Structure 1
Amino acid sequence: MIELVIDARKKDLGGFEVGRILPFHSRRMVGPFIFLDHMGPAEFAPGSEAINVRPHPHIGLSTLTYLFEGEIMHRDSLGYTQAIRPGEVNWMTAGKGITHSERTDPLKKAQGGPMNGMQAWIALPDEAEEIDPSFQHYGEDALPAYENGGLFARLVAGEAYGAKANVKTSSPLFYVHWELKEGVRTAPPPGKGAGGMSERALYVAKGQIEVGDRTFHEGQMIVLQPHAEPTVKSLTDATVMALGGEPIGQRLIWWNFVASSQARLDQAKADWKAGRMKLPDEDDLEFIPLPEDAAVTTRSEPLPPKPEPTHPV
């Protein structure tokens, strides 16, 4: 039932540590999901820098930010300023190009507090790679939820279990947040053989679960076989993200850029280096420079094992 297990790798993003799950050397994507970070869990002391990601660019993808705890302030080059809180979604589509920053509000910095959440990048299909950039914020009421017998489930994006989230996506996918009490049994959306999605995975954000006869713990992603229909049992109280979708074809990823051609990546590099990408109006005094040493472009299909390149948020 299980194709691969991926352990999150710790990455320091300037004083804040994340668990980097995708891309992985032998599994670059799950459906259109090309990047997945677990942000935290962390507890920021009062007066600390907390989240402080300076303006940076994206092309060819949508970012999906979803929190379990804490708050992040988003500002982008389209003029949007939007705080995201637990149970909400910030969905930003870069298309032909956008810049944004992600920071902790000064008042929240002064207070300190927890941070725990997920950031995913969803690669855009060929016909949407160069669309105009856009940003949408979705509250809890836009995300279908279900609770019964120790299981809480929220459909963060896409379609699953006969429900559809209001989040506007560009290709078939699902992204589900489970909160499981100890001993609860559930199942991911169906796989390819049952009329579901071709590629699926489970990420354990907290606790322990059992899939088949194997046990998995916090920080592990379980990539499922296309036709597998496993039962998932929580061995402790657990938080799990179920995700998947249909493949969209090979994609290249370099730094914050995703594209189907090297030429498009090179153009994005040149545009950012030359200052041709607009900064957010309310956050334009600094930015993350092009990382000249990030010379490795990684591909979306499996590659032989090698050290992971750096992919700043």
Structure 2
Amino acid sequence: MRKIKNTYKAAYAPMDDLVTYRAIPTREVEYIDPFLFLNHHGPQVYKANNRGLPFGPHPHRGFETLTFILEGDIMHQDTSGGKDIIEAGGVQWMTAGRGLIHAEFSSDKFKKEGGPLEILQLWFNLPAKYKMTQPKYVGLQKDQIPVVSEEAGKVKVHVISGNWRGTEGPIPSLSDIHMASAELEAGGSFTTSVAEERNIFFYVVRGAVKVNGETVEKLNLVEFENEGEEIKVEAQENSYILFGHALPFNEPVVSHGPFVMNTEQEIQKAFRDYQQGKMGSWEG
């Protein structure tokens, strides 16, 4: 079995009136190459006539984002031409690459009516050879994401990139990142194998699960050693997890706010390029 190195509790880091837990980076763990960052927003309930999400126009360069909309919605817009409203159960995958400006708001309907909200955003690094790739956006609604059911429906794996039991995810990854989310009913379980050289991303969103015999509760990130391959997950109660894996890039990571590059000089250039309008101009 794959050995567990440690588990880390997500840090409470509210943003205005948005309940937020940051799973990575924290004081205990900087990143799990190439997985850089995870913000877990909610769960919470917004009243009618609310302001919605607070993420106005801002730039990015050098990495990718994957956003899971569990409850509520996101209205996305960016300077590469992406524009979308993704509802509960859907995802957004954005390759910032050489740079863009984007914003993430709640829809007018959500701001007017309110309702439950829970959203997670995960950042993947891009290797040096792809840092300046063309920006790209893909939005998928719930019914566009393949689901692999196991144990008579007690386990449902939503396949986003890579593959699961031979089912291919609909979003191709530049860096061979395999990513899925899984819903498990109490008592449901699955076993899978991940090659030793690949790093694993494993975060418990809801509930509590046993991972290779060790109990992990909600709002916890698991870091694995690169020894062993088998992973067994058993739900102790109804649970929801994020699960992915990738080969580490083993490259320098220099990040400053919205930019993730390999050197300080590249960060400075990113700021200059943004100020000079090279990441596009915002037309809200």
Would the TM-score normalized by the shorter structure come out above 0.5?
yes
C-alpha displacement of 1:169:
1.2
Q: Is the 8 A contact 2:98 2:134 kept in 1?
A: yes
TM-score, normalising length from structure 1? Answer: 0.83
> Which residue type is aligned with residue 181 of structure 1?
E
Q: Is the 8 A contact 1:155 1:164 kept in 2?
A: yes
Q: Distance in 1 between matches of 2:142 and 2:18?
A: 27
RMSD: 1.9
Partner of 2:58: 56
Partner of 1:169: 173
Q: Which has the larger displacement, 272-281 or 256-265? A: 272-281
Q: Distance in 2 between matches of 1:158 and 1:212?
A: 23
Partner of 1:207: 207
Q: Is the 8 A contact 2:252 2:263 kept in 1?
A: no
C-alpha displacement of 1:26:
4.7
Q: 5 Å matches for 1:121-200?
A: 121-140=123-142, 142-148=144-150, 149=152, 150-187=154-191, 189-193=192-196, 198-200=198-200
Extract unaligned runs of 5+ from structure 2: none
Extract unaligned runs of 5+ from structure 1: 284-313
C-alpha displacement of 1:257:
0.7
Aligned-residue sequence identity (percent) comes to 24
Q: Distance in 1 between matches of 2:227 and 2:176?
A: 17
Per-residue CA deviation, residues 105-161 of structure 1 (Å, 9 max, x unaligned), is 222111001111211111111211111212222344543211233111111222333
Q: Distance in 2 between matches of 1:192 and 1:168?
A: 20
Per-residue CA deviation, residues 45-92 of structure 1 (Å, 9 max, x unaligned), is 111212121100000011111111110100111232201122322111
> Which residue type is aligned with residue 136 of structure 2?
S
Q: Is the 8 A contact 1:30 1:245 kept in 2?
A: no
Task: Note if 1:240 corresponds to 2:241.
Answer: yes
Per-residue CA deviation, residues 228-247 of structure 1 (Å, 9 max, x unaligned), is 32321111111111122111
C-alpha displacement of 1:103:
0.6
SS in 2 for 1:110: helix
C-alpha displacement of 1:10:
1.4
Per-residue CA deviation, residues 193-242 of structure 1 (Å, 9 max, x unaligned), is 4xxx6111321100111123322111001112223323211111111111
SS in 1 for 2:77: strand
SS in 1 for 2:57: strand
Cα 1:90/1:215, change in 2 over 3 Å: same
Cα 1:258/1:198, change in 2 over 3 Å: same
SS in 2 for 1:12: coil
Cα 1:24/1:160, change in 2 over 3 Å: farther
SS in 1 for 2:270: helix
- After TM superposition, which residue ranges in structure 1, 4 or more long, deviate above 4 angstroms? 273-276
Task: Note if 1:41 corresponds to 2:43.
Answer: yes
Q: Which has the larger displacement, 259-268 or 14-23? A: 14-23
Partner of 1:90: 92
TM-score, normalising length from structure 2? Answer: 0.91
Cα 1:166/1:31, change in 2 over 3 Å: farther
Partner of 1:224: 224
Paired positions, count:
278
More strand by percentage: 2
SS in 1 for 2:160: strand
> Which residue type is aligned with residue 199 of structure 1?
N
SS in 1 for 2:193: coil
Q: Is the 8 A contact 1:60 1:97 kept in 2?
A: yes
